[in-house]
Structure 1
């Protein structure tokens, strides 16, 4: 079963680790550091922080059971989709002092992490896609935080890198299986073999992770059929 791919990992511990990694990085930035472009197209490092802070509107609406109110807010702002919501969250915070945005994210995310852990992995959370287990939702948050940490260049120690890649690969495989993606994925000790649409390739674990979150370099030689088939996470 898809859930078996995640059984060796604690989503709440990972969420705490990735949030702490981002917090340390953000806390040490100077003005030039905030202005640097990130790997997320069109966003600076500061914009990524604004996105994470704004995203807590959604995370906490799921916890509070106030998604209808969030939908009303989105409609009032002319927001019709997830990407538009993300851009609106970033725009709303560009004129706010960065220290305030950092504190907003730090406080609200800390509350989100504590409440998710308290609920436990098998509780149900109301999401825009319908009821969903808290543990699985937390793994999605884990992946997003790790992706955005990489987007802004947060350092990862050599001691952490391998384990971090392993859980991210497991979350990617889980997400592909959960959505019933038309792709075959077979891991070995060193690589992950993927097949879709008549195309096959062997990828390193970091390459596979990058493919699942849509972060392969444009120059990467992977067949576009596989690029599309493997993308499964935000």
Structure 2
């Protein structure tokens, strides 16, 4: 029997993780003052407020997938003159919310993401979702959302308690391994070995601590990190 990449995550509940990371962001956003909203985030070129606007705006795509209306989604982007690819969509989402009161953007995100999380959970992990990349399992898509929310929580500095940090790095590393396994053209072989990920690529073997591997998979390694640029590019597999 063929083993699917998503089988490696069978013991994790993607919906519980999604709820937990959304709650982390909500707690953090709820306590910000004006200065906190203006503070630069770790996402290049974005303030903390811009990260919130991105999260609120991308629900247009999430709901289009759930509604089976990707044609309507792409028509909206064409009508608005949005450039090709998700970079253009992301910048459009941020720009169109910059003049709105931040409490309205926060309410929008809470409402729309709450709906997304409830509907994804109701469908169940084995259901199929129509995405721009084609039909895709709901559970797998939710794991991608989990990673994105955890990444943006770190981008804005949302607190992670010492008690949950290790567990969080473990599930994030496993989701990264899953995403790497999905890449048919990947030149990287990686596997979890305790508190490290063993990576074989380009004729070499490296043992990466979980935090380093996780940051590599989401493109958040510092610019001066000594990792081989080829490996850095190959490991990036999540938004």
Q: Same fold (TM over 0.5)?
A: yes
RMSD between superposed Cα atoms in Å: 0.9
Residues 1:31 and 2:34 are matched in the alignment: yes
Determine which of 213, 218, 237 is the counterpart of 1:213. 218
Residue aligning to 2:147: 143
The residue number in structure 1 matching 2:47 is: 44
Counterparts of 2:100 and 2:204, CA distance in 1: 47
Contact 1:125 1:133 in 2 (8 A): yes
User: In structure 2, what is the equivalent of residue 161 of structure 1?
Assistant: 165
In 1, are the aligned partners of 2:177 and 2:191 still within 8 Å (CA)? no
CA deviation vs aligned residue, 1:122-176 (integer Å, no higher than 9, x gap): 1111111111110000000000000000000001001111111111001000000
SS in 1 for 2:77: helix
Figure out how many residues of one structure are paired with residues of the other and give that number. 234
Consecutive unaligned residues of structure 1, counting only runs of 5 or more, are none
TM-score (normalizing by structure 2): 0.96
Which whole-Å CA distance do the structure 2 matches of 1:111 and 1:46 have between them? 21
SS at match of 1:93: coil
Counterpart Cα distance in 2 of 1:186 and 1:150: 24
Report the Cα distance in structure 2 between the residues aligned to 1:30 and 1:6, rounded to whole angstroms.
38
Aligned structure 1 segments of 4 or more residues deviating by more than 6 angstroms: none
| Residue of structure 1 aligned with 2:198, choices 172, 193, 198 | 193
CA shift, 1:187, in A, is 2.2
Distance 2:42 2:200 in 1: 27
Q: Which structure 2 residue ranges, 5 or more long, are not aligned?
A: none
Give the 3 Å change call, closer, same or farther, for CA 199–225 of structure 1 in structure 2: farther
Instruction: Give 1:8 shift.
Output: 1.6
Mapped partners of 2:234, 2:55: distance in 1: 27
Aligned-partner SS, 2:149: helix
CA positional deviation for 1:199: 4.0
Residue of structure 2 in register with 1:202 after alignment: 207
1:227 aligns with 2:227: no
